[in-house]
Structure 1
Amino acid sequence: MNLLAGQTVLVTGGASGIGRAIALGAARAGADVAVFDKDPAQALVAQIEALGRKALTVTGDVAEPGEAERFVREAVIALGRVDVFVSNAGICPFHSFLDMPAEVFERTARVNLHGAFHMVQAAANAMVAGGRGGSIIAVSSISALVGGEFQTHYTPTKAGVHSLMQSAAIALGRHGIRCNSVLPGTILTDINKDDLADEGKRARMAARVPLGRLGEPDDLVGPTLFLASDMARYVTGAALLVDGGAFVNLQ
């Protein structure tokens, strides 16, 4: 289905994991795609171009406020417009609470929350200037709703991203810009590969999920494309759990 035919999609953290899956999924849905990441994504660009779509990779650090405007500006120059923006870049260096260094907490906040704010703001300004509205999707987390012993620095940032989308939905609705978030459960990516290297822990985590498995990056593609497309034209300020049912499995 060409849900995003003729549109331009920007994705942060697009070189790997969830961001990469979303970028490729958007291209398969008919969109041109620009990705921003600390690592270049040339192989992804080649895959997208092989699908007959235009693609751009921009490297930088989302924690630096000026990088947001640079990314959006370069994407508009190369691809012409911004229709959909996916704020996905994030880190989670698992750490115990009582001895967590200040720099670990601060870096996590700068990447996950400050980076999301500046990127979303830059994208929204481009959408307003374009006058066509748009869709902004932030990748929050189930961790916005529940705690984690080794995530005391991470969970507040993901709650903040979820809250950012709620407030941005109000601020941007008059411009025809919809703002929503997806809340993944445990998804097998580089962010948690060390934490889940313990086969016993990995099995226990999977056993808590009603659908019986941990998530994969591709599991986020459909929900994100839905929120990006006109199928969700009256959906804004919403949060969609993509967790295999983990959140509701309390008993």
Structure 2
Amino acid sequence: MKLLEGKTVLVTGASTGIGRAAAIGAAQHGADVVINYHSRDEDAEACIAAIEATGQRGLAVKGDVAEPDTAKDFVAKAVEAFGKVDVMVNNAGICPFHAFLDMPVETFERTMRVNMHGAYFMVQAAANQMVAQGHGGAIVAVSSISALVGGEYQTHYTPTKAGVHSLMQSTAIALGKYKIRCNSLLPGTILTEINKDDLADDAKRTYMESRVPLGRLGAPEDMVGPIVFLASDMAAYVTGAALLVDGGMFVNLQ
């Protein structure tokens, strides 16, 4: 059963990791998919090839989500290519691990601009297009378990993920009258480019795995089902919600 048949889905930060898995998963469920990516041209091309291998159409649009105009350009090119926007998956994010006391201003501000500002302007651009179309839509933002718990080397990152979660709560209220649903996903530790260096240490990885009741760290593909569900009509009465996708890590932290 293809849950996104006939829909146009936009995914930010989709050349690798969760975004890539979400983009390909959306195509497997019948959607045409437009991806945003920052710099990895070959990875973006490979993602589009995987989308097209499902029989769906794909388009890659390069751009830095930290720049507000990137969002407008991304949505405009999606509409030009496929005629509409039904779903926005806001996924782009960075987490350059660093201690708090000597956090470089540039690292803090770049993390804020990509994760929080980028989410705001992408969601706003997609919502404006959905309102103009007049038939509603779905926005899914990838937040993090870090919206709920702290991290010693993530003092710049965790506030952005709490902000993304809060943004979905507020936009759910602001956009409900337009039949636009807004929900967030809170992944636990998912093996992606963001944390591959941090988890290259075998002892740390084993420790992290020991905290997960399901006994393993997550893979990007573990996010596909929850994203597709929230994007689909199966979640027609779900808005302003947050879904933990963490193998049970959060409830096992005490």
TM-score, normalised by the number of residues in structure 1: 0.99
The corresponding residue for 1:31 is 31
The corresponding residue for 1:78 is 81
Q: Deviations over 1:34-67 (max 9, x none)?
A: 0001133111111111211111000010000011
Deviates more, 1:40-49 or 1:133-142: 40-49
SS at the partner of 1:196? helix
Given candidates 162, 177, 180, the residue that maps to 1:177 is: 180
SS at the partner of 1:191? coil
How far off is 1:209 after superposition? 0.3
Name the CA distance, whole Å, in 2 between partners of 1:250 and 1:153: 21
For 1:89, the aligned partner's letter is A
The corresponding residue for 2:247 is 244
Contact 2:211 2:253 survives alignment (8 Å): no
For 2:34, the aligned partner's letter is A
Q: Deviations over 1:202-221 (max 9, x none)?
A: 00000000000000000000
Matched, 1:205 2:208: yes
The corresponding residue for 1:46 is 49
Name the CA distance, whole Å, in 2 between partners of 1:7 and 1:202: 38
SS at the partner of 1:136? strand
Moved over 2 A (4+): none
Name the CA distance, whole Å, in 2 between partners of 1:213 and 1:49: 31
Name the CA distance, whole Å, in 2 between partners of 1:42 and 1:192: 23
The corresponding residue for 2:137 is 134
Q: Deviations over 1:178-230 (max 9, x none)?
A: 00000000000010011101000000000000000000000000000000001
The corresponding residue for 2:164 is 161
Q: Deviations over 1:136-171 (max 9, x none)?
A: 000000000000000000000000000000000000
Q: Deviations over 1:104-133 (max 9, x none)?
A: 000000000000000000000000011110
For 2:14, the aligned partner's letter is G
Identity %: 72
Name the CA distance, whole Å, in 2 between partners of 1:12 and 1:78: 17
Name the CA distance, whole Å, in 2 between partners of 1:95 and 1:167: 30
SS at the partner of 2:250? coil
The corresponding residue for 1:124 is 127
Name the CA distance, whole Å, in 1 between partners of 2:194 and 2:233: 31
In structure 2, runs of 5+ residues without a counterpart are none
SS at the partner of 2:88? strand
The corresponding residue for 1:92 is 95
Name the CA distance, whole Å, in 1 between partners of 2:80 and 2:217: 39
Given candidates 213, 217, 221, the residue that maps to 2:220 is: 217
SS at the partner of 2:30? coil
Name the CA distance, whole Å, in 1 between partners of 2:230 and 2:52: 24
Q: How many residues align?
A: 251
CA RMSD of aligned residues (A): 0.6
For 1:68, the aligned partner's letter is A
For 1:111, the aligned partner's letter is V
TM-score, normalised by the number of residues in structure 2: 0.98
For 2:151, the aligned partner's letter is G
For 2:19, the aligned partner's letter is G
Contact 2:85 2:126 survives alignment (8 Å): yes
For 2:49, the aligned partner's letter is A
Matched, 1:104 2:104: no
How far off is 1:250 after superposition? 3.1
